[in-house]
Amino acid sequence: MLQWLEEGGRRKINLKECERVHGAVLQVLMAKRPTISVEPSDEEVRAWLMPAIQGAAG
């Protein structure tokens, strides 16, 4: 995924179905901050995942 993200400049990720994220994946998301086209539908996941990804930007 890292490679995929690094290949194209404006790749989007759909996290709608996301229910859990492996730490390794998470840190790629946090490091690369790709555009999240759809936030996770799972409220719990969204609650901690989105701040993590966006928070890394700030």
Partner 1 sequence: MLDSDLLHSSSLEIQELLESASNALLAVEDTTAGEQPDVDELFRALHTMKGLLGWCEAPALVQATHAAEDLVDACRAGELVLTTPMIDLIFETLDEVSRGAEVLLTGAAPGEEFTPRCADLTKRLRAQLGEEVPEVAAAAAEVTVWWFELLDEERREAFADEQEERGEPLWAGRYVPAAECFFSGEDPVATVRAVPGLCWFAVSPRSPWPDQEEVGAFDPYTCNLQFHFLTWGDPRDAWPGGPVSAEATLELHALTRDELLCTSGAWTEETVDRDVHMRRLLEAQLVVLSHAESWPGRVASVAVTLKRILHNADLPGRPEAIDEAATDAIEAGDGAPMVAVIRAMLNGRPVGLDEASDVAPDEAPHAPPPTEEAPSVIPITAAPSAASEPPQKLAPVPSASPRGSKAAPRSPSGGNGHSPVLKVEQARIDQLMDIVGELVVAKNSLPYLAERAEGEFQSRKMAREIKAQHAIINRIAEDLQNAVMRVRMVPMSNAFGRFPRMVRDIAHRLGKQARLVMQGEDTEADKNIVEGITDPLVHLIRNSLDHGLETPEVRLAAGKPAEGRILLKATHIDDQVVLEISDDGAGIDLEVVARKALAKEMITEAELQSMSEAQVMRLLFAPGFSTNSEVSELSGRGVGMDVVNTMVMRASGELEVDSVKGEGTTIRITLPLSMAVTQVLLIETANETFGVPLSVVRETVRVPPDEIHVIKHQEAMILRDRLLPLYRLRKVLGMEECAVEDDGAHPNAGEAVLVVEAGGQTFGLIVDRFHAGLDLIVKPMQGVMSSYPLYSGTALLGDGRVLLVLNIKELLHACHVPQDRRHPAPSRRAGGGRGLASVA
55 is an interface residue for partner 1 by CB under 8 A: yes
The single residue among 12, 37, 41, 44 that binds partner 1, judged by CB under 8 A, is 44
CA atoms in the 13 A half-sphere facing the CB of 1: 15
The single residue among 35, 37, 43, 54 that binds partner 1, judged by CB under 8 A, is 43
Distance of CA 57 to the CA centre of its chain: 12
Number of residues assigned to the chain: 58
38 is an interface residue for partner 1 by CB under 8 A: no
CA distances from 38 to 32, 47 (A): 17, 14
Q: Which residues bind partner 1 (CB under 8 A)?
A: 1-2, 4, 6, 13-15, 17-28, 30-33, 42-48, 51-52, 55-56
